[in-house]
Amino acid sequence: MLAAPARRNLRLLYGFWFLREFQLWIPVWIVYLTLERGFSFSQITAAESVYLLGVLALEVPTGAIADRYGRRVSLGLGAVSLASSVTVFAFTTSPVVLFVSFAWWAVATTLMSGADMALLFDTLKAAGREHEYERLAGRGQAMSWSGVGLATLFGGPVAAVLDIRATILIGAATCLAAAAVAFALWEPPRAAVERTGGMRGYVGTIGAAFRDAWQARAVRYVLLLFGVTVAGLETVHYLVQPYLVENGVRVGTAFSLLQVPLFAAGMGGALLASRVERGAGPVRGLLLLSAVGMAMLGALALAPSLWLYWALPVLMAANSCAWPLMTGAVNRQVSSERRATVLSIGSMTVSVAMAVLAPVIGLMVDAWGTGAAFGLGAAATAAGIALFGAPALAAWRERDGAAAAAAASPAAGT
């Protein structure tokens, strides 16, 4: 049984993840920009590139803020920043305003990225229950997906009764509620979690995190494998709404209902993460999920019709399941004082690949349709498997061998 502060933190974290993702505009935001505001899909993905470049620039520095000044502070500031960027988004009138909104969105995302999972791991470690991380991280990810799913279910009907801008402003309000929850979290004392000496300076934290990520081969190749393959899987998030529009589905109740199973699948994938980790380990698990996702993307590339709609929830489940595997592998390899920063490096690897893919996706959809863009996602995932699959497996075997040898050495000396 978890201690009272840890139990409270879990409840608050679940509430935070749900509220952060309960954004009623999710099922209609691309339609809002294209049909109501007159943006092309290329302009939307160009704005997404601005967001991704912002993430690249800020992911590690904001991760170091969480490590240096507190994870709950970083989460609260991130949620407030998200509320403000969503509000700007609601009044988008030109590409410049759209780019400003997405740039500020990057600040919000990076303040929260890594900090939440580091806080979860340290909470569990303070209670002596870190072995439950994948299960509880998967449950937390499922709460995020449930927020997205319910928002998707109600977003279309609310937009039809009110308007799309109203759904966006409601989303800003739920972000502020998430901020209030974040500031109420308990921050586990780092010294009580892991005795690694005093906290380094801010810049030193960033440098040490990069050294940790690069010098530990098991961490390095897990991050590289995750970054490229998951970027390929993430293309599905850009393509669901254009895919539905391309197949003649009009905005409204049906448009929302067809997206709900996808987010339910994301919830299911997150809940399966601990089983995948126990059965295959983090690296084999990532490779398995990537291979399944690549097959689904390839099928949609060949025939992007509603007959292959079933491939979309499989993709969502694979994508969702991959995140707890990566964060669990990293959490167990780095010290508490740099945990959020190294986790941010993991998110950054996805953003690097997505910064290349996102504008190309937009051009492909505008020129050739969603099939070509699904094909690009399949190619990216295949490249990640080919380039980093074998080195990641070898590095993880080496890590397991070293751990086994270290465990056996006291017994050998007695």
Does the pLDDT value for residue 191 go beyond 70?
no
pLDDT score of 317:
93
CB 179 within 8 A of CB 16: no
* Reported confidence tier of residue 260, pLDDT bands at 50, 70, 90: confident
pLDDT score of 195:
40
pLDDT score of 171:
93
pLDDT score of 197:
43
Task: Give how far Cα 269 sits from Cα of 42, 130, 139, 273, Å.
Answer: 30, 21, 10, 7
Higher per-residue pLDDT: 207 or 245: 245
Write out pLDDT tens, residues 292-350: 999 999 999 998 888 999 999 999 999 999 988 888 888 777 776 667 777 777 778 88
pLDDT score of 350:
84
Write out pLDDT tens, residues 12-70: 999 999 999 999 888 778 778 887 888 887 888 788 888 888 887 887 787 778 877 88
What is the rounded distance in angstroms from the CA atom of residue 362 to the CA atom of residue 352? Answer: 17
Does the pLDDT value for residue 105 go beyond 80?
yes
What is the rounded distance in angstroms from the CA atom of residue 62 to the CA atom of residue 167? Answer: 29
Write out pLDDT tens, residues 357-405: 888 888 898 889 999 999 999 999 999 999 999 999 998 888 777 666 6
pLDDT score of 407:
61
The CATH number of domain 4-184+207-403, selected from 1.20.1250.20, 1.10.3720.10, 3.40.50.10540, 3.40.50.2300: 1.20.1250.20
pLDDT score of 33:
85
Q: Across all residues in the chain, what is the average pLDDT?
A: 84
pLDDT score of 21:
92
**Entry pTM:** 0.71
Percent of the chain predicted with pLDDT > 90 = 31
Q: Where are the domains positioned within the chain? A: 4-184+207-403
Q: And the tokens for 96?
A: 């410049």
pLDDT score of 409:
62
pLDDT score of 2:
62
Write out pLDDT tens, residues 215-253: 788 888 888 998 899 999 988 888 988 898 888 887 667
The three-state DSSP-derived secondary structure of the chain is CCCHHHHHHHHHHHHHHHHHHCCCCHHHHHHHHHHHCCCCHHHHHHHHHHHHHHHHHHHHHHHHHHHHHCHHHHHHHHHHHHHHHHHHHHCCCCHHHHHHHHHHHHHHHHHHCCHHHHHHHHHHHHCCCHHHHHHHHHHHHHHHHHHHHHHHHHHHHHHHHCCHHHHHHHHHHHHHHHHHHHHCCCCCCHHHHCCCCCCCCHHHHHHHHHHHHHHCHHHHHHHHHHHHHHHHHHHHHHHHHHHHHHCCCCCCHHHHHCCHHHHHHHHHHHHCHHHHHHHHHHHHHHHHHHHHHHHHHHHHHHCCCHHHCCHHHHHHHHHHHHHHHHHHHHHCCCCHHHHHHHHHHHHHHHHHHHHHHHHHHHHHHHHHCHHHHHHHHHHHHHHHHHHHHHHHHHHHHHHHHHHHHHHHHHHHCC
